[in-house]
Amino acid sequence: MPNWVTNKLFISVDGLHEDNYPGIIFQIQEALEDNRGFIPALIPAAPYEPEDEIVIGGEHVGYSLSDQRYDWCSENWGCKWGDCRTSFLYGPPASDYFVWSFDTAWAPPIAAIKTISGMDSARGADVYMLSIEEQPSFRAHYHFKNGEVVTEVEENCFKILEWPKEPEGDDLEDHVKWNDCYDRMNESLHTVVETIWGPEWALTLRGVMAESKASEFAWGRA
């Protein structure tokens, strides 16, 4: 099983009339309506070879990931597979962004989103991605535009927070408290919002550090 990375994708339509929304938004939505990941839909890999098929009990269950295909995915998508468990979260009029949530295996799909931001249908659009590993051991935010990485901030969560030490011995109450503490810290790291890029990023870091020590675990209150 891979370590999963949870990602949020934001495409800005601030100040645009709906008739002028970037076409990439509708391409992503069409992929989801067809029950496909938007990354492999927009950046398709070569078809699987017959020898890659996995058959158990006479039934098709999937395909093996050859070394060649793995290398291709890593280079062109930045992750082992495409996007999984992708869902549309919200968009106008509730926000100036169209926002999706999705998971990737082992790493954020930096290469894929960079390529997608450079497609004609995304030309000129500001594309953002927030990523956090499930452990969590890192979190990051990225800004893409016209096929380039405008900003990239990656941080090791273990260096940011003072993680609680797991209690020793068989004291059930201490273990319950530790698990509750860990779960709340984990939740605070995943509760990312649109304003996290820019100056707010540093504020949220200080907020989490201060709140974790105070056992309040919330973003942005230093």
Question: Out of 78-82, 84-88, 168-172, which region has the weakest mean confidence (pLDDT)?
Answer: 168-172
Residues 128, 23 share a domain: yes
Do residues 113 and 66 touch, judged by C-beta distance below 8 A?
no
| Structural domain count, the chain | 2
- pLDDT band with cut points at 50, 70 and 90 for residue 29: very high
Residues 171, 83 share a domain: no
- What's residue 207's pLDDT? 43
Residues 107, 61 share a domain: yes
Would you say residue 83 has pLDDT above 70? yes
Residues 133, 72 share a domain: yes
| Domain stop point among 118, 138, 156 | 156
Residues 139, 117 share a domain: yes
- pLDDT band with cut points at 50, 70 and 90 for residue 65: confident
- What's residue 181's pLDDT? 67
Residues 111, 8 share a domain: yes
Residue of 173 and 12 predicted with greater confidence: 12
- pLDDT band with cut points at 50, 70 and 90 for residue 153: confident
| Domain stop point among 100, 135, 156 | 156
Residues 202, 96 share a domain: no
The CATH number that applies at residue 113 is 3.30.70.1270
Residues 170, 89 share a domain: no
Residues 175, 98 share a domain: no
Segments forming the whole domain that contains residue 148: 4-156
Residues 189, 103 share a domain: no
Residue of 206 and 73 predicted with greater confidence: 73
**164-199 pLDDT per residue, tens:** 566 676 767 777 776 776 676 666 655 554 444 444
| Domain stop point among 101, 131, 156 | 156
Residue appearing with tokens 């096929």:
147
Residue of 206 and 32 predicted with greater confidence: 32
How far, CA to CA in Å, does 216 sit from each of 9, 59, 212? 28, 51, 6
**111-151 pLDDT per residue, tens:** 999 999 999 999 999 999 988 887 667 778 889 999 999 98
Pairing relationship of beta strands 59-63 and 84-90 according to DSSP bridges: unpaired
CB burial readout 14-28, b (16+ within 10 A) else e: eeeeeeebbebbebb
Q: What mean pLDDT, rounded, does the chain reach? A: 77
